[in-house]
Amino acid sequence: MSALPPPLLALLAEFEGCDRSERAETLIHFADRFVEVPAEVAARPFPEAHRVPHCESEAYVWALDRPDGTLDFRFAVENPQGLSAKAWAVVLDETLSGQPLEAVAAVPGDVVHAVFGRELSMGKGQGLSGMLELVVRAARRRLAARTPQ
């Protein structure tokens, strides 16, 4: 886990001691900070290529190149009640945007349960894992593009 980006490690440490109600309250605060993808990045109807598979909240993910070679992540969540997807979008943006691509590419899928808890339903877990997978995949693609063939 030490290869993870420091902001993500700090967040995981914060959630480690949370009970179920503290976790829910914290995630609601994250969801309250959600800002949808800016119009200059994407507009409705959003392209299917950015849609998260199996996500009940109809989430979309964009990876934007930064001048320093890292990525910024932007999200749309079409379901107004998609609090978990909105919270996760904020977590992913705040902990992975601007981080080294190697660290982002190495984020394991089990961080979803580390943040949301083991009580996460299968359906919700699939959508949140799908959001993470699109972020990780974008970092891996950028890394592969850097590597001379």
| Overall CATH class of domain 6-146 | alpha beta
User: Which is nearest to 92 in space by CA: 48, 54, 61, 70?
Assistant: 61
pLDDT at 132 > cutoff 90: yes
- Residue 83's φ and ψ, nearest 5 degrees, are -65, -40
Asked whether the predicted pLDDT for residue 149 surpasses 70, the reply is no
What confidence tens digit (pLDDT) does each residue in 3-54 have? 899 999 999 999 998 899 999 999 999 999 999 999 999 999 999 999 999 9
pLDDT interval class at 1 (50, 70, 90): low
CA–CA gap between residue 34 and residue 88 (Å, rounded): 9
- Closest by Cα among 100, 93, 64 to 77: 93
> In what helix (H) or strand (E) does residue 125 lie, and over which residues does it extend?
helix 122-146
Q: What per-residue confidence (pLDDT) applies to 123?
A: 87
Average pLDDT over residues 82-105: 97
Q: Where do the domains of the chain lie?
A: 6-146
Q: What's the CA gap between 57 and 105, in Å, rounded?
A: 24
Average pLDDT of the segment spanning 87-114: 96
**Above pLDDT 90, what percent of the chain?**
87
Whole-structure pTM value: 0.95
Query: At residue 111, does pLDDT exceed 80?
Result: yes
Spatial separation of the C-alpha atoms in residues 9 and 13, rounded to whole Å: 6
With beta carbons less than 8 A apart as the criterion, state whether 25 and 113 touch: no
- Calpha distance 115→127 (Å, rounded): 14
